Amino acid sequence: MTLEAITHDHLAPLRHGFFTRRGGASSGVFSGLNCGRGSSDQAEVVQINRARVCAAMGVQPDALIGLDQVHSADVVVVDGAHDGPLPKADAMVTTRPGLALGVLTADCQPVLFADAERGVIGAAHAGWQGALGGVLEATIDAMVGAGARRDGIVAVIGPSISQRNYEVGPDFVDTFIAADPDHARFFTQGRGDRMHFDLPGFGLMRLNKAGIALAAWTRHCTYADPDRFFSYRRSVHLRQADYGRLISTIRL
């Protein structure tokens, strides 16, 4: 099976893709294109999957740049392949042609950024902690620092867990309301004291408030479509031992 990559017109003409799980070599709970080196999948199979992504992106394996993602608001500026351990951060920015920035997700938001006119791109892993902590704005600031224009940046949120499937408890809600009472609009009532959180809607709000040119969500829910997407939350509900990681990439 060939790889499947979701693209978006906002990011054209740059090569990019929010890769689904289709077309990979992994099996079992990881069946498909698991690109997570931190998973318990066979390391050599993960490398095969990542090599297929590199081929699709037109780069060599060492040009697919990743991070040790830690749910932070930290951003690194990349000008070549990492030498040594991966940086602990959740977003990257580069002006270097030929590098593919790749973030891993399994319900969190993968966000790809571009100012194609000025040759600056970015990629961010934005779960609720990173999004609330400012990783999206920090990525935009780093892009501006690298030569982008704020009003020339576009951003697209890829497949993420949708509000319908993101049930949270009172403490979660309290954390958001304490940061800004207006955040209440991203929650709807669930069963009992449960609420449902609109992660992509929250991400879009933060992106639009940052003053960039365009922001969009591909409107794919990772939880609701097991044939195409890995989902951490779905794996927990199914009591699976582990879960695959999707990769989203962009290059100049």
- Tokens of residue 199, six digits: 């992660």
57 Cα distance to chain centroid? 17
Res 80: pLDDT: 86
- Do 176 and 205 meet the contact criterion of CB atoms below 8 Å apart? no
Number of other residues whose CB lies within 10 A of the CB of residue 131 = 27
Mean pLDDT of 234-238: 97
* Residue pLDDT, tens place only, 152-183: 999 999 999 999 999 999 999 999 999 999 99
Q: Which domains are present in the chain?
A: 5-162+198-251 (3.60.140.10)
Res 83: pLDDT: 80
> Which amino acid appears at position 61 of this protein?
P
- As a whole number, the mean pLDDT across the chain is 97
* Residue pLDDT, tens place only, 184-209: 999 999 999 999 999 999 999 999 99
- Do 228 and 19 meet the contact criterion of CB atoms below 8 Å apart? no
C-alpha–C-alpha distance, residues 22 and 1, integer Å:
7
Share of the chain above pLDDT 70, in %: 100
Q: Which long-range contacts (CB under 8 A, 24 or more apart) does 230-238 make?
A: 230/21, 230/32, 230/34, 230/106, 231/106, 231/107, 231/161, 232/106, 232/107, 233/107, 233/161, 233/165, 233/166, 235/29, 235/106
Does 71 score more than 80 pLDDT? Answer: yes
* Residue pLDDT, tens place only, 34-66: 999 999 999 999 999 999 999 999 999 999 999
Beta strands in 139-211 (DSSP E): 154-157, 167-168, 187-189, 195-197
Q: Which of 56, 29, 69 is nearest to 250 (CA)?
A: 56
Does 1 score more than 70 pLDDT? Answer: no
- Do 156 and 112 meet the contact criterion of CB atoms below 8 Å apart? yes
Res 223: pLDDT: 98
H or E stretch covering 123: strand 120-126
